[in-house]
Amino acid sequence: MNMMRREGTPIRQIETITNLDEILAAAGDSVVMVEFVADWCAPCKMFRPILERAVNANAGVVKLYTVDSGLHSDIATKFGVSSIPHVLFFYQGEIIRRQVGFLPEKQFSKLLEGLLVAIKPKEEAL
């Protein structure tokens, strides 16, 4: 949990399921992207800068956390992740979308924009 408070660290590691639960509980109305990666995954390395730029472009609205699925296979198993790169999008504690595999930047931005538009009415209703 202390890792998520470490400001200035661009991507924060999730190491336990409790860790993830706490992050989701504290996320409010932000979209939380949880990226499953591993050292040996070349497409993950291509995907990372695209995700980072997406977070920067949507500062405060979108947050990014990462799970090293090589070290924490229990988290991967819990969420049915068997192929990486794999991004889970959480909103108010629930998975609203999954992206399996690499996506070029333009397509990824479009996907994220779509999600942000889709959750807007929900926010207004609150």
Of 14, 20, 44, 84, which residue is the catalytic one?
A: 44
- Which residues, numbered 19-58, are part of the site for another protein (CB under 8 A)? 38, 40-46
CA angle centred on 109, ends 106 and 114, rounded to 5°: 125
Q: Which of 31, 33, 34, 41 is catalytic?
A: 41
Contact residues for 90 (Cβ-Cβ < 8 A; gap 6+): 24, 27, 31, 32, 33, 34, 96
**Tokens in use for 64?**
């990014």
We find the least distance from the C-beta atom of residue 85 to another protein, in angstroms, to be 8
57 is a catalytic site residue = no
CB of 71 to another protein, least distance (A): 10
In the residue annotation, 22 being an active-site residue is answered as no
